[in-house]
Amino acid sequence: MPELPEVEVVRRGLAAGITGRRITAVEVLHPRPVRRHLPGADDFAASLAGRTFAEPRRRGKYLWLPLTDGDAVLAHLGMSGQFRLDPADAPLVPNTRVLFRFADGDPELRFVDQRMFGGLSLSPGGAELPAEVAHIGRDPFDPEFDLAAAVARLRAKRTGIKRALLDQQLVSGIGNIYADEALWAARLHYAWPTQALTRARATAVLTAATEVMRSALGHGGTSFDSLYVNVNGSSGYFDRSLAVYGQEGRPCPRCGTPIRREPFMNRSSFRCPRCQRAPRAQAPRTAAPRTPGARTGSTVG
Ligand SMILES: [Zn+2]
């Protein structure tokens, strides 16, 4: 799934390509990507004709296309959703699902989605912040992102650091790739308990996540699979700069130790076993001090 830098690349491409343009017609070629619009595909198309796009916006991995009347089209990129800006006479790429035509002619906006986990929906009143996105935390690129408050929220959690980084309500935009890269940069194992992080280390890992995502954005994002492309159909090249993600067996860029891949939340985590050591096992419950007269039987099987 695209993470913050990849979605921001798409947002910027759309900002340059659709802002201020009036829609004349919408054509839904497959109903599945507009399934969240309950009145149906025809209603989706009819209700957008004649409206004008404002500048596309983003929070974390969530993207929406505001309309100048205060509503918005919410875009769920899912696993394989793409936007393309193409001349009307250019052939449709495979899996083109929705077309937007404009009063000023070319280019058309085309929504392409191979696997169709994503889609488009109309968000009434959603131009500023769609209700569907309101529960998502601010991302580190947001001018109103508060690092000290995010550090405090992180340290108040009782979970592992990587799970916390992936929690989009805590800080949004970070997925598996940039979590692994940030943890490597901060020399932290993914299982480090958040409540045991000093303020300085929690700040360091969030700062590392911000820096690695900023660097990825400068490279046009990470093309982790062929489904991710920008609005021109080309992909980013940050994958050449990844230190650990997808680098199993390759030397750690810092110490040369082979990178290890481990199962994590039904996916994988990549880390340097030397730079990112596992936290010491917590003391077993049987080691807790006993009060006189307390039962000596352990509840630990
Ligand atoms: Zn290392």
Q: What is the pLDDT of residues 207-221, one digit of tens each?
A: 999 999 999 999 988
Model confidence pLDDT, tens digit, residues 38-52 = 999 999 999 999 999
Strand order in the sheet with 23-28: 23-28, 96-102, 105-113, 81-86
Strands 62-66 and 72-76, by their bridges, are antiparallel
Per the annotation, the verdict on 3 as an active-site residue is yes
Average pLDDT, the chain: 90
Under DSSP, the state recorded for 218 is H
Residue 136: pLDDT band (50, 70, 90) is very high
Residue 227: pLDDT band (50, 70, 90) is low
Q: Which residues surround ligand 1, an ion (CB under 5 A)?
A: 252, 254-255, 257, 272, 274-275
Residue 50 Cα to ligand 1 middle (Å) = 56
Which helix H or strand E contains 207, and what residues bound it?
helix 199-218
Residue 300 has pLDDT above 60, yes or no: no
Residue 220 Cα to ligand 1 middle (Å) = 26
Residue 280 Cα to ligand 1 middle (Å) = 18
**For residue 294, what are the contacts with CB-CB under 8 A and spacing of at least 6?**
none
Model confidence pLDDT, tens digit, residues 166-195 = 999 999 999 999 999 999 999 999 999 999
* Least confident piece of the model among 5-14, 264-273, 292-301: 292-301
Task: Tell me how many degrees the CA angle 221-226-232 measures, rounded to the nearest 5.
Answer: 65
Residue 108 has pLDDT above 60, yes or no: yes
Residue 246 Cα to ligand 1 middle (Å) = 15
Model confidence pLDDT, tens digit, residues 39-96 = 999 999 999 999 999 999 999 999 999 999 999 999 988 888 899 999 999 999 999 9
Pick the catalytic residue from 11, 58, 59, 61. 61
At 135 the pLDDT is: 96
Could you tell me the pTM of the whole model?
A: 0.89
Residue 296: pLDDT band (50, 70, 90) is very low
At 232 the pLDDT is: 75
Estimate to the nearest angstrom the gap between the alpha carbon of 68 and the chain centroid: 26
Please give the backbone phi and psi of residue 69, each rounded to the nearest 5 degrees, phi first.
-90, 5
At 38 the pLDDT is: 92
Please give the backbone phi and psi of residue 74, each rounded to the nearest 5 degrees, phi first.
-85, 130
Residue 299 has pLDDT above 50, yes or no: no
Given a contact cutoff of 8 angstroms between Cβ atoms, the answer to whether 267 and 166 are in contact is no
At 256 the pLDDT is: 98
